[in-house]
Amino acid sequence: MPKTVLVVKTSLRAGSNSDALAEEFARGAREAGHSVEVISLKGKNIAFCHGCLACQKTQKCAIHDDATSIAEKIGHAEVVAFASPVYYYGLSGQLKTLLDRCNPLYSSDYRFRSVYLLASAAENDPSTMEGSVKGLDGWVDCFEKASLTGTIFAGGVTGPDEICRHPALVQAYEAGKSIL
């Protein structure tokens, strides 16, 4: 049965390696017959959460910027994949800021059940991604109907487009294609 899939690219760099992972995941999901939307945070205006918690009563953020519509799309998708570079062994700041701004989803009837992390880093050691996985897993744990379904890591890629021919591209494609 086709699913609605949202892929969120969080790198702000042109030719981003994590963007390449996102595109391969999306391509696999499309080929499997799913409805796929890809959003990039490049050029988006996303402010920091103010911590006012008004969203817990209203299910709407008090800040009106691009994060509001992106959070709504996350809430309506059945599968969400976040593509992020690994910065200092953690999620990119722009992804963390977006996750904080998804606070209105906690008390909503969100649809996502499967969440994926697609990450790239200059360092090649698989442990490089542990902080990013822990950060996203902490967010997912707040949504009792959802789970962190899969993680893909492309290590050893620094400059733009260095990911070309990296095995993680095939893994991302296959993960998208195998969405159930």
pLDDT at 151: 98
* CA-angle at 18, arms to 126 and 103, nearest 5°: 95
- How far apart CA 86 and CA 123 sit, in angstroms, is 9
Q: Are the CB atoms for 62 and 101 separated by under 8 Å?
A: no
* pTM, entire model: 0.96
Q: Nearest to residue 26, comparing CAs of 45, 7, 1? A: 7
Whether the Cβ atoms of residue 137 and residue 148 lie closer than 8 Å to each other: yes
Query: ∠ at Cα 172 (83, 116), nearest 5°?
Result: 50
pLDDT of residue 160: 87
**For residue 119, what pLDDT is reported?**
98
Contacting residues for 126 by C-beta, under 8 A, at least 6 apart: 153, 155
pLDDT per position as a tens digit, 145-175? 999 999 999 999 998 889 999 999 999 999 9
Check: CATH 3.40.50.360 for 4-177? yes
pLDDT of residue 88 exceeding 90, the answer is yes
Answer yes or no: are the C-beta atoms of 65 and 45 closer than 8 Å.
yes
CA distance 123 to 140: 25
Question: 36-78 pLDDT, tens per residue?
Answer: 999 999 999 999 999 999 998 898 999 999 999 999 999 999 9
CA 33, CA 179: separation in Å to the nearest integer?
A: 10
| Structural domain boundaries in the chain | 4-177
Between the alpha carbon of residue 113 and those of residues 80, 161, 168, 173, the distances in Å are: 8, 31, 23, 19
> Which pLDDT score, from 0 to 100, does residue 92 have?
96
